[in-house]
Amino acid sequence: MQVHGIIHSFPKEIKALIAVFLVLLSIGFYTGLTFVNETTTSSPEGIESHYNGNEADENATVMQFKKSKREVLTLVHNHILSLSIIFFILSLILSTTSINKKLKHFLMFETFASVLLTFGGIYLLWLNIGWMKYVIMISGIAMTLSYTISVFMIIFELLKKSKK
């Protein structure tokens, strides 16, 4: 069964619930991005030093040490589980919109690929595969763009009037 373009016909209460959910979810999502910026300076080198330390850098203003295996596994585990649930719910809501089918499918599945690349990449970077810092950065940007576009498209659909 394909659900197509029905979100605009949902009852006002359900539309309001979805809107409030998206606002709170977005506050949490973008707060997380602020934390990433604070801990990595949103740069490939910052990502690498955050997970693998910077003890060899005599010019470092803040000393960082390589994360333990336990720390990395906890981070990867928690983020893959929580973001998978978040993107599953977001994709379910997105599936009820009337946006272009190919764009909708791309947005629904891109976030899952980005979660795998970002957090799998963090683990591989921790194993000293240095070029993964670029994969992490690109997939993180792609995840953020897909999330943001999805939320805006859902909100646009929520604002549409029901055809009676």
In this prediction the pTM is 0.91
- 133: its two tokens: 């810092």
pLDDT for 164: 55
| DSSP secondary structure of 89-118 | HHHHHHTTS-S-HHHHHHHHHHHHHHHHHH
pLDDT for 163: 61
| pLDDT of residue 161 exceeding 90 | no
Say how far apart CA 131 and CA 125 lie, in whole Å. Answer: 7
pLDDT for 2: 52
| Cα angle: 54, vertex 57, 61; to 5 degrees | 80
| pLDDT 10s digits, 92-127 | 999 999 999 999 999 999 999 999 999 999 999 999
State the chain's mean pLDDT as an integer: 93
Structural domain boundaries in the chain: 8-159
Neighbours of 66 (CB within 10 A): 16
- What percent of the chain is predicted at pLDDT more than 70? 96
User: CA of 71: how far to CAs of 5, 29, 74, 125, 134, in Å?
Assistant: 43, 21, 5, 14, 21
| pLDDT of residue 88 exceeding 70 | yes
